A and B are shown apart, each in its own frame.
Chain A
Amino acid sequence: MADENDEGGIVLSPEQQRRRRARSLAIALALGALVLLVYLVTVVKLGPGVLKRPL
């Protein structure tokens, strides 16, 4: 469980810190997968025209 330190802030236990790291890593992986999916879908939907668009 989290404890309060002398300054009133919450201090996480080692287990809580480990779980927070795991959550952060999972969010990063999910966002990376989303970016990759959007990239692949964009390439597939636009086809060869992906490089022939006016700037």
Chain B
Amino acid sequence: MSLVSDNAVLERPLRAPATAHPCMAGVGDYISLLKPRVMSLVVFTALVGLLVAPGRMHPVLVLAALVCIAIGAGAAGALNMWYDADIDALMRRTAARPLPAGRIAPGEALGFGMILAVGSVAMLGLVANWLAAGMLAFTIFFYIVIYTMWLKRSTPQNIVIGGAAGAFPPLIGWVAASGGIGIEPLILFAVIFLWTPPHFWALALLRSDDYARAGVPMLPVVRGGAQTRLQILIYSLMLAPVGAFPWLFGFAGPAYGALALVGGAGMIALASRLYAAGDGALAERTARRLFAFSILYLFVLFAALLAENRYAALFAGAAS
């Protein structure tokens, strides 16, 4: 089946963003270009990758590497907003962003994003290593070219494949600290990769009108709510065991294992309830709960991994 065959019926209305008045841009507009909420997840998962990786890294270098990864993620956000200004203008959730609202000119957003992208990659190479820098560059490329420019507008599988961009930060953090790739960061990558579809499709179920208006072929728009709820359940069933892999593979302890099993069961229970709810107010309420729970689930897993690792390091330090 072609990935790009499902959106033939969707036509995006052509509408240019409002005329830019660059002099009206405030500092907050440039900060919002960096998508700070997305950046917070990137920073947190990258920090876990940096700290649980083998090998000791000086705290200043950890901070510097984290800043580089955060700025790289922000650059990707700015470039995404630059390219998506036309569809952002058509969606209620994004119409007030600086580009569609006309407070920042497209060229300024492009320049801002490119400078930050090049600067963050070069700085990470100098601070940590060039493998991590190369991975950061690839992540920005993947998010902008593969996801934003291609997949987002052409297939309902957009966030499945594009979700890889959001799964890279712990891997980059691990490589920055250790200089190499092991099975552990690949498992962390897999956890976020499988977490992304249920998380975003729960949101897409609530915002399908917006996406339809903008001509973005999200799964609920192209295939309908029932198929989306089934896909959410399938990905939740895959996510629950993979979420426990860090414990099963021995690089997380029993506390993590217990939280992963309970959290995974919670994801499956909510996804099952959503699948059974059908269309209507109950489905909307359950989708909202699943969206919120998925954020908590990922945060708790990574926080538990970090806490256990730090506790073990402290214990090892005291014993030696």
Contacts and interface: CB of A to CB of B under 8 A. Distances in A.
B25 A23 contact: yes
Interface string B93-128: 000000000000000000000000000000000110
B296 interface: no
Contacts, number: 35
B27 A1 contact: no
Contacts of A25: 27
A1 B24 CA distance: 8
Interface residues of A, number: 16
A26 B30 contact: yes
Interface in A6-32: 12, 15-16, 19-20, 22-23, 25-26
A40 interface: yes
- Nearest 6 pairs between A and B by C-beta? A16-B23, A26-B27, A44-B60, A44-B58, A40-B60, A19-B26
B287 to A, nearest CB: 38
Contacts of B24: 15-16, 19
Contacts of A12: 23
B67 interface: yes
A23 B27 contact: yes
A8 B60 CA distance: 51
B284 to A, nearest CB: 39
Contacts of B262: none
